[in-house]
């Protein structure tokens, strides 16, 4: 995609050979433009997983066994299979043969068989967004690695909605202004349990959300996230910005280039086309909505 952006931007600049605007500078303008398009257009949407397969299992203590025990995985998911490996009489590693699906951080690893005198203990690694018992604040940085499972995503910019599992249900939390949450809810921290509301506190990529009531246990969460893209380094770098929003990138890049060259009239012309392209991209991206065909 970088080659396409470079070609289009160089045409807008009337500089196909990058004689007046060095290619390295134009790439920098393109990446800055991509960040602008992603933030203004809110076009990179990611739903980090609330449940997932088991990525790996970490042995905490090896125990003492006469034979090799069987790994038992207990949790809300299904399909995971793992095998214990021994060194002497202790479990030293566990291989996940099948990751399964639907697991969250309530998943427990135990062992059966092997004639133990001391049981081994282990912890599963599951790439999912969960509430943590007695934890109120959740930073974007703690969830970025899960958002980055989507190719080309750099980080979470803001969160538009949050849902938390409650048994078989997954209700969406009510969103509050943080100052209201502070004044009316956090000032009287007498209730904990199932979260019913959230508020974003930090802004931009350093953001965070607060949950109230403070959760008392682990539960799957789903964050509807608006994200920023990674910089394009070459033509193999994944582009997270979807069409038609990609059409706007060269115009903003050309706008920045003309500004750098102290050509304000040409810069304004590029910005006006960029603005019109962003509006067109929004209209093209939102389908008509009919609440009820039978009303």
Q: How far is CA 231 from the centre of its chain?
A: 16
Q: Is 290 part of a structural domain of the chain?
A: no
Residue 162 and residue 215 in one domain:
yes
Q: What is the pLDDT of residue 190?
A: 67
Residue 138 and residue 196 in one domain:
yes
Residue 210 and residue 147 in one domain:
yes
CB-CB contact of 27 with 19 (8 Å): no
CA–CA dist 198, 146 (Å, integer): 20
Q: What is the pLDDT of residue 28?
A: 97
**Number of structural domains found in the chain:** 3
Q: Which domain holds residue 258?
A: 2-43+241-285
Q: What is the pLDDT of residue 291?
A: 81
Q: Is 143 part of a structural domain of the chain?
A: yes
Q: Is 255 part of a structural domain of the chain?
A: yes
DSSP H or E segment with residue 257: helix 249-260
Residue 64 and residue 110 in one domain:
yes
Residue 87 and residue 106 in one domain:
yes
Residue 30 and residue 9 in one domain:
yes
Q: Which of 248, 233, 220, 272 is nearest to 107 (CA)?
A: 220
Residue 142 and residue 224 in one domain:
yes
**Residue that is written with structure tokens 């409650």 in the block:** 166
Residue 161 and residue 209 in one domain:
yes
Q: Is 195 part of a structural domain of the chain?
A: yes
The answer to whether the predicted template modeling score (pTM) of the entire model surpasses 0.75 is yes
Q: Is 292 part of a structural domain of the chain?
A: no
Spans in the chain with pLDDT lower than 70: 190-191
What is the number of other CB atoms lying within 10 angstroms of the CB of residue 15? 18
Burial tier of 115 (Cβ tally within 10 Å: 0-12, 13-18, 19+): exposed
Q: Is 291 part of a structural domain of the chain?
A: no
Q: What is the pLDDT of residue 295?
A: 72
DSSP string, 76-104: S-B--EEEEEEETTEEEEEEEEE--BSB-
Q: Is 236 part of a structural domain of the chain?
A: no
């Amino acid at each position: 995609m970088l080659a396409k952006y470079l070609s289009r931007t160089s045409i807008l600049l009337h500089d196909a050979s990058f004689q007046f605007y060095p290619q390295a500078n134009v790439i920098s303008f393109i990446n800055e433009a991509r960040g602008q398009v992603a933030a203004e257009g809110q076009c990179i949407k990611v739903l980090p997983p609330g449940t997932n397969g088991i990525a790996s299992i970490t042995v905490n203590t090896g125990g003492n066994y006469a034979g090799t025990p069987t790994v038992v995985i207990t949790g809300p998911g299904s399909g995971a299979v793992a095998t214990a490996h021994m060194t002497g009489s202790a479990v030293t590693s566990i291989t996940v043969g099948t990751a399964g699906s639907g697991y969250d951080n309530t998943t427990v690893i135990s062992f059966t068989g092997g004639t133990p005198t001391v049981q081994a203990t282990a912890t599963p690694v599951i790439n999912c967004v969960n509430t943590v018992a007695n934890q109120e604040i959740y930073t974007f940085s703690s969830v970025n690695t899960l958002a980055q499972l989507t190719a080309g995503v750099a980080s979470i910019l803001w969160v538009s909605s949050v849902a938390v599992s409650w048994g078989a249900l997954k209700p969406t939390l009510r969103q509050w202004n943080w100052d209201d949450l502070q004044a009316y809810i956090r000032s009287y921290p007498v209730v904990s349990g199932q979260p019913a509301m959230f508020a974003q506190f930090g802004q931009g990529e350093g953001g965070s959300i607060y949950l109230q009531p403070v959760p008392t246990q682990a539960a799957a969460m789903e964050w509807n996230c608006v994200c920023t893209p990674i910089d394009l380094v070459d033509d193999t770098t994944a582009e997270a910005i979807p069409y038609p929003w990609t059409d706007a990138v060269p115009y903003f890049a050309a706008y920045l280039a003309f500004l750098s060259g102290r050509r304000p009239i040409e810069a304004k012309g590029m910005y006006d086309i960029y603005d019109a392209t962003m509006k067109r991209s929004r209209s093209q991206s939102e389908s008509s909505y009919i609440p009820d065909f039978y009303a």
